Amino acid sequence: MKTAAWCAGVALTTMAGLSGCAYLGGSGTAPATAALACGQLDITVNYRGDGATLAVGDEQYSLVQVPAASGAKYQGDEDPEIQLWNKGNVTMLSVGNQSWPQCVPQGTIAEPFTARGNEPFWHVAVDGGQLSLKRMGADEVGPAGYEVASSNVTGQTLKATLNGQAVILETAPQLCRDSMSGMAYPHQARLSIDGEKLAGCAGDPALLLQGVEWVVEDIDNGGIIDRSRVTINFLPENRVAGRASCNSFMGGYQLTGEGLTFGQAATTMMACAPALMNQERKFLEVLGNVQRFDISRTGALILQTGDGRTLRAYGAQSLKP
């Protein structure tokens, strides 16, 4: 989970820094660095002339700029399957057939984006350069254009005028749990409407799952066998895949406002030592009964069943499988 600070009970102050979310690098003569978030994967791109260096965890990749119909496109100098494509305020990262969630500057948001809160209910939608607001018992107002008042790694502030009301939405890349459902969201949000202050959560919960390979370290509080490997990857189009211990598995998942569930998993048919096969069966049985997820203070993904069983995994900051 990202570590931008937003202490409980302390109001956000006005954030200084870049205005808007324009990218640095790509064609300038001076070196420039961009720190980006691609779901849960954090990358740093150091641009230099007609090339760049991509840093992911402990890995570094040299990139060269290649022709593109739009934006600035780079590919791996030694591995051309690594591709990084800057298009406006969004960067797309892929390695062969594997693609990551769109990458945005740390602390910023990507459209479409929603924020919401309870008691009283409110909902803000940000899309196409416009912002709209819905409140309990009132008609939706907007959409109207908004201004990015401040933007840096600690968050972003958007300002708009809706039906004569001054609306300010502040977001911070800090884990947030919905006050009613308990669902985890990637951003905390503060909404001000003509000075009235409201709090809530924002962003797409799927971004807490996507972008990294989750390496399972514990199955139902029993650990895992030494040197065995159990992994989970949340892929585009609600697909999931990974290693179950002995065999690879694939299937689907569904993320709703109430929780996370997995469909029946298909596996390869290899045979391994009995202990590994038992661990695999246990993992798949728990996975198939998951009903919700959470992120711990240490950044671990916790998958929970209705009867209290859990899977605990940590995200690998790497482009390598």
Each residue's pLDDT tens digit, 104-158: 999 999 899 999 999 999 999 999 999 999 998 888 888 999 999 999 899 999 9
Domains in the chain: boundaries: 32-104, 113-204, 212-316
Collapsing DSSP states into helix, strand and coil, what is residue 235? Answer: strand
pLDDT one-digit tens code per residue, 56-106: 999 999 999 999 988 999 999 999 999 999 987 789 999 998 999 999 999
What value does the mean pLDDT take over residues 188-213? 96
Q: Confidence class of residue 41 from pLDDT cuts 50, 70 and 90?
A: very high
Q: DSSP label at 282?
A: H
Instruction: Give me the CATH topology for the region 212-316.
Output: Lipocalin (2.40.128)
Cis check: omega of the bond before 101, within 30 degrees of 0? no
What top-level class would CATH report for the domain 32-104? mainly beta
C-alpha torsion angle, residues 259, 263, 264, 268 (rounded to 10) = -100
Other CB atoms closer than 10 Å to residue 119's CB: what's the count? Answer: 11
Please indicate whether the domains covering 32-104 and 212-316 agree at the CATH topology level.
Answer: yes
